[in-house]
Amino acid sequence: MQLNKLARVESVILLEGESGTGKTTTARKIHQASIRKNKPFIEIDLASLSEQLVESELFGHLKGSFTGANSNKEGYLDKICGGTLFLDEIGEASLQTQKKLLKLIEEKKYIPVGATTYKSFNGTIIAATNKKLWKMVKKGEFRKDLFFRLMVFHHELPKLKEDINFLEKAIEVEFQNKKIQYQNYHASLSKCAKDSLLAYSWPGNYRELKNMMEYLIVCHKGKIEKADLPINLQKIDPLEDYSNYHIVMEYYEKQYLLKKLKNFGGMVNKTAREIGISKVTLISKIKKYDIKIADIKMEINEGLACGL
């Protein structure tokens, strides 16, 4: 589901994705795009707190409700005031906390630890997980009713390697950002270095990509060649490192078209004729892969092509 639609949701949203795919970033973007943007955005990481602490931090507690509860304490839910509560790592919540979260989501009610009366909750919840919740449901580790409630508005963040166009743009953007940050304005990526970055599997997703761009910019001046990349990136083979059939095919199709367009001087008509497809098909693929003809022509002029 698109972010602008999610920004209209007032109940609960689930963000799923591997570590570093941008769940926290997306939760903040959704909040910023919503009518709640001037209200609080409060984040709680369920993985880092014990069950008792989670409940006392979230729901608040009354004095004397457990050892160490020396005074009444407000919970995050009291402080939301129409804003957004970001519940990170919801898969880590205990079954007891899950039950309370379901009541909170369905009835907008919660009860502080040690209290006997409910309070009303005024806010929107964005939950995030890097676990497969359905698998947890099957193992009895996650409540089915809560799972289905969370799935109504859910958004899955793709792994970086799953979308080659997004990956290419992310490399460009983050490389540029780090150039500016470190004032290394003459740094650039050679074609071969860029191809290796595109073929890498990025298990740490966007976070790893940002760190890698920082490493390259800090450690190198001028043109960065494939040999300047960390050793594991120099040995990338798309056939080995891309597991999905469509990704591999798209990778090679894009490389093929880039090569042919370069061979034929960046001329679309001529390239289409020479490789035996219609001009319309070639143009649609140029759009699909976000191929920049102007860049190809510039590369030809500069004599930078390093061969594929």
Ligand X SMILES: Nc1ncnc2c1ncn2[C@@H]1O[C@H](COP(=O)(O)OP(=O)(O)OP(=O)(O)O)[C@@H](O)[C@H]1O
Residues 6 or more apart whose Cβ sits within 8 Å of residue 273: none
Q: Tell me the longest C-alpha to C-alpha distance in the chain.
A: 82
To ligand X, the closest distance from the beta carbon of 40 in angstroms equals: 19
> Binding residues for ligand X, how many (CB under 6 A)?
12
- 133 versus 261: smaller Cβ distance to ligand X: 133
To Mg ion, the closest distance from the beta carbon of 4 in angstroms equals: 21
Q: What residue is closest to ligand X based on CB?
A: 22
Under the binding rule (CB under 6 A), the answer on residue 60 touching ligand X is no
The three-state secondary structure class of 80 is coil
**Which range binds ligand X by CB under 6 A, 4-12, 205-213, 242-250, 254-262?**
205-213
Q: Are 12 and 152 in contact (CB under 8 A)?
A: yes
DSSP state, residue 308: -
Under the binding rule (CB under 5 A), the answer on residue 25 touching Mg ion is no
Under the binding rule (CB under 5 A), the answer on residue 201 touching Mg ion is no
Query: Which of 59, 11, 15 has its CA nearest to residue 34?
Result: 11
- Report the interhelical angle of 268-275 vs 279-288 (nearest 10°): 110
To Mg ion, the closest distance from the beta carbon of 202 in angstroms equals: 16
Q: Which listed residue (24, 52, 201, 263) binds Mg ion by CB under 5 A?
A: 24
Amino acid at 82: G
Burial 186-202 (b: 16+ CB within 10 A, else e): ebebbbbbbbbbbbbbb
Residues facing residue 87 across a β-bridge = 44, 127
To ligand X, the closest distance from the beta carbon of 25 in angstroms equals: 3
Q: Which listed residue (23, 61, 143, 159) binds ligand X by CB under 6 A?
A: 23
Q: Which listed residue (4, 11, 19, 232) binds ligand X by CB under 6 A?
A: 19
DSSP state, residue 249: H
Binding mask 243-282 for ligand X (x = CB under 6 A): ----------------------------------------
To ligand X, the closest distance from the beta carbon of 148 in angstroms equals: 23
Under the binding rule (CB under 6 A), the answer on residue 65 touching ligand X is no
Report the run of H or E that residue 205 belongs to, with start and end. helix 205-219
Residue 221 burial (C-beta neighbours within 10 Å; 0-12, 13-18, 19+): exposed
To Mg ion, the closest distance from the beta carbon of 154 in angstroms equals: 16
For Mg ion, the binding residues (CB under 5 A) are 23-24
For ligand X, the binding residues (CB under 6 A) are 17, 19-25, 130, 206-207, 210
